[in-house]
Amino acid sequence: MKKNAIFLFVFLAAFRLATAGEGMWLPLLLEQLNEKEMKSMGMRISAEDIYSINNSSLKDAILLFGRGCTAEIVSDKGLILTNHHCGYGQIQSHSSLEHDYLTNGFWAMNQSEELPNPGLSVTLLVRMEDVTSKVLQALKPGMSESQREAAIREISATLEQEAVKGTHYKAVVKPFYYGNEFYMFVSETFNDVRLVGAPPSNIGKFGGDTDNWMWPRHTGDFSIFRIYANKNNEPAEYSADNVPYTPKSHLKISLKGAEKGDFTFVFGYPGTTQEYLPSNAIQMITQQANPPAIRLRGKRLAIFDKYQNESNLVRIQYAAKHASVANYWKKMIGENRGIQKLDAINKKQELENGFKSWAASDAGREKMYGGILPAFDELYGKMGRLEEDQTYLIEAGLGIEAVRFAYGFNTLLIQSTDKKVTDEAIDEQIKKLRTYADAFFKNYYAPIDHEVFIVLMQDWFEHQEGARMPGNLTMELLKHGNSFTRWADVVFEKSMFTDQQRLNKFLDRYNRRKARQIEVDPMFSIAEAIYGHYIRAIRPSISGLEATNDSLQRIYMRGLMEYQPDKRFYPDANSTLRVTYGKVDDYSPRDAVDYRYYTTLEGIMEKEDPAIYDYVVEPKLKKLYREKDYGRYGDRDGTMHVCFTASNHTSVGNSGSPVLNADGYLLGINFDRNWEGTMSDLMYDPDQCRNISIDIRYCLFIVDKFAGAGHLVNEMTIVE
Ligand code: ARG
Ligand code: GLU
């Protein structure tokens, strides 16, 4: 019996290892830390094929796209794939009533039709380097936290300068494991990136916010761009003379599809994870910060929904705002449920108890680590309250659009009262503010904001005592007879920041003596109270605690690594290039429910609802479906696969990342996680955490069969 149990334990442990998806690994260390496991899971290529310093490797096809997404090069002419939601801003900026690319899609039929995107860049990693010892050499024992930081800044700057001397590259040194290790990243940034193709929104955003973070999913979340370079194949600002970039390598595409159990890996730029925080932090995030944010966003979204359903114009005006408010709202809900279901706080506490006894059993360790957990208790005791205050300031105060907008006039106010600022500079600022105002009012519907003001202020006052709020707000409310509605009525009627005509009149006749009118504007003074409270009271206190936290977390991290010498630690995500690997896999979200790992076009037809914007199906897509006209993109089972799930540990920023198979061929494009697994930024659960990808065959089917842009597929390297 006992023997059997041990056998079962060993067997299960091995099984766990072989299916494990946890970890976001540094490409540089794959060979040392992961290659063996990756091969045991089915990988047929080597770590060197993925990341090599000397030879071209897959990493030469992976890009940081814009500020926070990933993209991959898929042709020798610099063609790149990312998500529709990553290219959304660019697609939107080229859209007008005559050319509504968001609604109808966009396809460049030749290179001259590809559209430039000022402000958009993509970044390629040239190499990375472990510079830990060089950085640590610059540090002396006994340094204070700020001395330490200054020394790190100085040595980093030196290393960065040396690394890029005589090149057009950029280098940055980043801390890993909370400042226990340091790596330098040398990269190359391209600024001429053109829009090549995007499906209509009812393919690229099918399911909208309703399906967001959810499985089963049917979103064709992709868009296509191309990198342009100068005649020497080097990065250059946009120019009509630029030519398509010739990459060192581009991804090959597999049309074989993904099957359950297949090895996959995701190569991209995850933004932030916090896997090594103490239980106090998880408690703070899930019990103090998330709940008011979820509640306040929920109220805001209900108001958006009401007005968006009433008017088509408002629906369009608030589409992007709705998406961005809803995205984190839903993420936080999922995160809280996941943490609860995983019993994550208890799990962390168990780990901490073990750590405590381990530290206590040795005098040296006790001296080094004994004080850490009590120090966290004290720190988070103070931090929690400030986090709450900050959450209300951001989610309630800055949830009011006109508050954020009005504060944009603060610079003009400051300039106007500063004699050193010339009249020309002020004219320049006015010009900027006009553009700023045009952009704001284009998508502003004051009745929404008016109601949001009432509802959010009321919530804030109900949940926080006045002493913790910006002082002026309490006075203002009192002045309006403690009525939120009356207060809102007056502010919205009097302020020039809620009405473009009033604002234009003011700007038309502006001279610096009129600056006072900004100051006394009722919306501006609310904004000033909110931002001022944040800048003067909340932020400095939080910063002080964060500095303490940084040093505690650094020591705790080192302690954890010593305490568990056999565990392989991966560094938390920090927007650097990572490899995460797992298997194509399904999951069971709750008792009696099993989800299949892939979806098909049948599911799109099941979800179709012409009355609901997010579930409209294009007639052309229906025709292809009826005729089963899938070409070489259909699955062997006769259906068109749309999305699939796998156990790769991904995070925000992995949007657009390539999902690759055992041979390193492109299988899909990552775009989301499942709701039940969104706590993976704090704690990963191999049982529940899945990444969601669009099947590359559906993507190419849309490009080729739906859009008739087969010339783009012809550019790619397809492995049938
Ligand atoms: N949840 C995905 C991510 O975090 C997709 C967001 C965009 N889609 C949406 N319906 N809001 O970025
Ligand atoms: N949609 C996310 C992004 O834009 C990726 C999904 C995730 O967070 O895992 O980065």
Q: Are residues 239 and 370 in the same domain?
A: no
The beta strands (E) that lie in 78-145 are given as 79-82, 106-107, 115-116, 122-130
Instruction: Note the ligand closest to the C-alpha atom of 673.
Output: 2
pLDDT of residue 347: 98
Is residue 347 located within the same domain as residue 285? yes
Q: Which of 67, 222, 324, 652 to mutate to test the pocket of ligand 2 (most atoms within 8 A of CB)?
A: 652
Q: Is 677 in the pocket of ligand 1 (CB under 6 A)?
A: no
- Closest-CA residue, ligand 1 atom 5, reads 672
Ligand 1, atom nearest to 672 Cα:
2
> What is the number of structural domains in the chain?
3
For residue 209, give the ligand 1 atom closest to its CA.
Answer: 10
> Facing residues of 243 across strands?
229
- Ligand sitting nearest the alpha carbon of 656: 2
Do 242 and 283 fall within a single domain?
no
Q: Which atom of ligand 2 is nearest to the CA of 653?
A: 10
Are 328 and 431 in a shared domain? yes
- Determine whether the shortest distance from the Cβ of 650 to ligand 2 is under 6 A: yes
Query: pTM (2 decimals)?
Result: 0.94
pLDDT block averages, 10 residues each, the chain of length 720: 45 45 96 96 98 95 96 98 96 87 96 97 98 97 92 98 98 98 98 98 96 98 98 98 98 97 98 98 98 98 96 88 96 98 98 98 97 98 96 98 98 96 96 97 97 98 93 93 98 98 97 95 97 95 93 97 96 98 97 98 98 95 98 97 98 98 98 98 97 98 98 96
Q: Long-range contacts made by residues 316-320, C-beta under 8 angstroms, separation at least 24?
A: 317/442, 317/443, 317/444, 317/445, 318/443, 318/445, 318/448, 320/88, 320/92, 320/443
427, two tokens: 């004219």
Indicate if 284 and 193 belong to the same structural domain.
Answer: no
Residue 205 CA to ligand 1 centre (angstroms): 9
Q: Is 84 in the pocket of ligand 2 (CB under 6 A)?
A: no
Coil, helix or strand at residue 24:
coil
Which structure tokens are listed for 640?
A: 């068109």
Does residue 379 form part of some domain? yes
Asked if residue 416 belongs to a domain, the reply is yes
Question: Dihedrals φ, ψ of 278, to 5°?
Answer: -75, 165
Q: Are residues 354 and 483 in the same domain?
A: yes
Q: Give the residue numbers annotated as catalytic, written as ranges.
A: 85, 221, 655
pLDDT score recorded for residue 720: 82
Which of 88, 205, 651, 674 is the pocket-test mutation for ligand 2 (most atoms within 8 Å of CB)?
Answer: 651
Is residue 272 assigned to a domain?
A: no
Q: Which pLDDT does position 10 carry in this prediction?
A: 43
- Domain assignment present for 686: no
* Same domain? 417 vs 533: yes
Show the beta-strand stretches assigned E in 47-169: 62-65, 69-73, 79-82, 106-107, 115-116, 122-130
Range of the domain at 438: 279-554
Residue 466 confidence (pLDDT): 85
Cβ(323) to ligand 1 under 6 A?
Answer: yes
pLDDT, residue 218, reads 98
Residues in the chain, how many?
720
Please indicate, yes or no, if residue 682 is contained in any of the structural domains.
no
> What is the reported pLDDT for 20?
65
Query: Are 492 and 590 found together in one domain?
Result: no
The residue whose CA is least distant from atom 6 of ligand 2 is 672
Ligand 1 site, residue 670, Cβ cutoff 6 A: no
Q: Which ligand 2 atom is the nearest neighbour of the CA of 270? A: 10
Mutation test residue for ligand 1: of 91, 324, 327, the one with most atoms within 8 Å of CB: 327
Please check whether residue 303 lies inside any domain of the structure: yes
- Which residues have CB under 8 Å from 167's CB, separation 6+? none
Residue 485 sits in the same domain as residue 396: yes
Q: What is the 3-state secondary structure (H, E, C) of 502-569?
A: HHHHHHHCCCHHHHHHHHHCHHHHHHHHHHHHHHHHHHHHHHHHHHHHHHHHHHHHHHHHHHCCCCCC
